[in-house]
Structure 1
Amino acid sequence: MIQERLAAFAGLPVHTFDGAPDGPLPAAGDVAWGIYHHVADNGVWGAEVPENLGRFLEAVDTAQVTHLVIGFWGFDTEEFAPVEWLVDNAGRFPRLRALFLGDILDWDLHISWIKHGDISPLFEAYPALERFEIRGASDLRLGPLRHDRLKALRIESGGLPAEVVRAVAGGALPALEHLDLWIGSEWYDGTSTAEDFAPFLTGERFPSLKHLGLENGPFQDEFAESLASAPVVPRLESLSLAMGMLSDRGAEALLSGQPLTHLRKLDLHHAFLSEPMVERLKAALPGVEVDLRDAVGQAEWDGDEWASSALYIAVSE
């Protein structure tokens, strides 16, 4: 469950703009501006995101804004579509470099219920965008992704459609250094398979890639087996198979494959590993930061393997 809003985004602290500032505002370029619905101290609902966005344009010199975070805007994009608003107001944000669309908590809306529609126009409207993160993939659509300056792309999902994976994999992102994809569950419209992610492993599509995260997925063992010999691995600085159903089988593949000692970080948190395997990973990668939080003890271990029914991804609904 996602229970806390972002405290920082892309290196800047998030400053919540609630439409009714009590005092002076920070300099427009010093913070990541978070636009959320406002709940007063007495629990009464106040301004919601569409209204706060309008007030934001009036109160802040948006020509100097570099980082923007948008929270829960409602249940239906037919009533308000943040992508459409962002495209219509692109001229007001000439310096925007980092955008997070959907900083939405579970109590506002489950991640698998967050609808976006076609986000392709964003990349045309903001050619200088360097970082784009989005939460939710229900009805998420985009054409083959082409952008000359995008360095970081993150899609958080409870169920990632295969069409979205293929649109990213088939795109042209020469500057992309950081890629994170949450795969999710077939129970929440996740139609992607391990084969859909094969283009990310060749090292050909994204020549600048330094971090690869294939996370929150049911086929982490298959990924690990492919990564054991994948051409992309030697030039990565960090790799993540976190939040998914990685077992000893996948960890064995990582240890038996090509060296990983060049990595700065290997993230395997929320895995399903035996204690001996955890110790082997630590011993084999002494100079690597290996994140093994919640990697042991999440389910019953019978001494040989986890029961398949006991494995689960970290974020689904």
Structure 2
Amino acid sequence: MIQERLSTFAGLPVHTFDGEPEGPLPAPDGVAWGIYHHVQDNGAWGAEVPENFDLFLRTVDTTRVTHLVIGYWGFDCEEFDPVERLVDAADRLPNLRALFLGDIRDWDLHLSWIKQSDVSPLFEAFPELEHFEIRGSDGLWFEPLRGSRLRTLRFEATMLPAEIVSAVADSDLPALRHLDMWIGVNQVDGCASVDDLAPILAGDRLPSLRRLGLENAALQDRIAEAVADAPVVARLESLSLARGALSDAGAEALLAGHPLGHLGELDLHHHFLSDAMAGRVREALPGVRVNLDEPQGRPEWLKPKWRRYELDLSASYIAVAE
């Protein structure tokens, strides 16, 4: 579960703006401004994101703001659509370079319940945007981008729609260096599958990509198999298959595929590898920083009583499932 708000974002500390400011404010371009609802000492809610956003625009010299984080805005986008509100305020934020939409903790709203909308207008309103992250995929829409200056693009989801993966694959992102997608589970029609990742793994439209994360996936073993022979891996500096249901089978595929010794980092944390396989991975990649933290033990779907009935319970074993 996601239990804490961001403390840093895109290289800057997050400064929470959640009500009437007390004391001097930091330099507008020295922090990532976090717009959240205000929780009082007695636990009661004070001003919420819509009010705090308006107060932020009135209080801070937003022409100098470069980083912005938006927190919990409600159960839907009817009363406050963060995309619409940001687009309306685009002339007040001419130097915005980094945006996180949905810094929402699990106890505020489960990840699968976060309502999003069409984020495409953001890239028209903020053509200089270099870093974009979004949490939640219910209702999310993303049009393919052309000639974007994006360097980092991240999606956090429990059921990432296939349309989002296809839109990223169809985009021309010549400057993109870092792409993360939390795939989640494939429990309903329209969820992303391993096949949807093929154009991204080919890397033809991602010439600058150096960091790739395909994470939080129930089908992490199948993703590992696809990554093992993917052309894009040869140019990567960092690869992450973390937070998912990776077992020995997926790790075996990685070791049998294209060499990974050129990587600076291989992140496999939150995994289901046996001790023996974890040792093999480390031994095979002596010059790579391999993250094998958070071992989860032997998963139920690998135990004979479940394999006998051909049940796939891997969806229950991803790091963020709801």
User: TM-score band, normalised by the shorter chain?
Assistant: over 0.9
Deviation sequence 1:209-259 (CA, Å, 0-9, x none): 001111111222222222222111110000011111111111011111111
Q: Which residue in 1 is equivalent to 2:248?
A: 248
Residue 313 of structure 2 corresponds to 309
Instruction: Find the residue that maps to 1:215 and give its secondary structure.
Output: strand
Q: Does the 8 Å CA contact 1:214/1:241 hold for their aligned counterparts?
A: yes
- What residue ranges of structure 1 are gaps of 5+ in the alignment? none
Structure 2 residue identity aligned to 1:79: E
2:19 maps to: 19
The one-letter amino acid of 1:272's match is F
Moved more, 23-32 or 267-276: 267-276
Structure 1 counterpart of 2:264: 264
Encode CA deviations 1:101-138: one digit per residue, 9 max, x unaligned.
00001111111111111111001111000000000000
Distance 1:39 1:196, change over 3 A: same
Measure the CA separation in 2 of the matches of 1:68 and 1:215: 24
Contact 1:158-1:188 within 8 A present in 2 as well: no
Whichever residue aligns with residue 261 of structure 1, its letter is G
Instruction: State the match for 2:44 in structure 1.
Output: 44
Alignment of 1:68-87 (within 5 A): 68-87=68-87
Q: Distance in 1 between the 2:198 and 2:299 partners?
A: 30
Give the RMSD, CA atoms, in angstroms.
1.9
Aligned residue in 1 for 2:127: 127
Are the aligned partners of 1:127 and 1:147 in contact in 2 as well (CA < 8 Å)?
A: no
SS of the residue aligned with 2:205? coil
| Cα contact 1:87–1:125 (8 A) shared by 2 | yes
Deviates more, 1:272-281 or 1:221-230: 221-230
Match of 1:33 in 2: 33
Q: Return the letter of the residue paired with 1:222.
A: R
In structure 2, the partner of 1:99 is: 99
Q: Secondary structure at the match of 2:155?
A: strand
Amino acid at match of 1:170: D
CA contact (8 A) 1:188 1:316 kept: no
1:225–1:253 Cα contact (<8 Å) kept = yes
- Asked whether the 8 Å contact 1:240–1:267 carries over to 2, the reply is yes
Measured in 2, the distance between the counterparts of 1:301 and 1:170 equals 35
Q: Distance in 2 between matches of 1:207 and 1:306?
A: 43
Which piece of structure 1 moves more, 259-268 or 185-194? 185-194
Question: Could you report, residue by residue, the CA deviation over 1:9-43 in whole angstroms, capped at 9, with x for unpaired residues?
Answer: 01100000122111000010000000000011122
Q: Which residue of 2 aligns with 1:275?
A: 275
Q: Deviations over 1:128-172 (max 9, x none)?
A: 000000000001012223342100000000111111111111111
- Secondary structure at the residue paired with 1:272? coil
* Alignment partners' CA distance in 2, 1:167 and 1:102: 20
Q: Distance in 2 between matches of 1:133 and 1:306?
A: 37
Give aligned pairs, total.
317
Which ranges of structure 2 fall in alignment gaps of 5 or more residues?
A: none
- In the alignment, the residues of structure 1 paired with residue 302 and residue 81 of structure 2 have an alpha-carbon distance, to the nearest angstrom, of 50
Residue 299 of structure 1 deviates from its aligned partner by 3.6
Using the alignment, how far apart are the partners of 2:274 and 2:39 within structure 1? 45
Q: Provide TM-score, normalisation by structure 1.
A: 0.95
**CA–CA distance in 1 between the matches of 2:103 and 2:88?**
21
Q: Percent identity?
A: 65
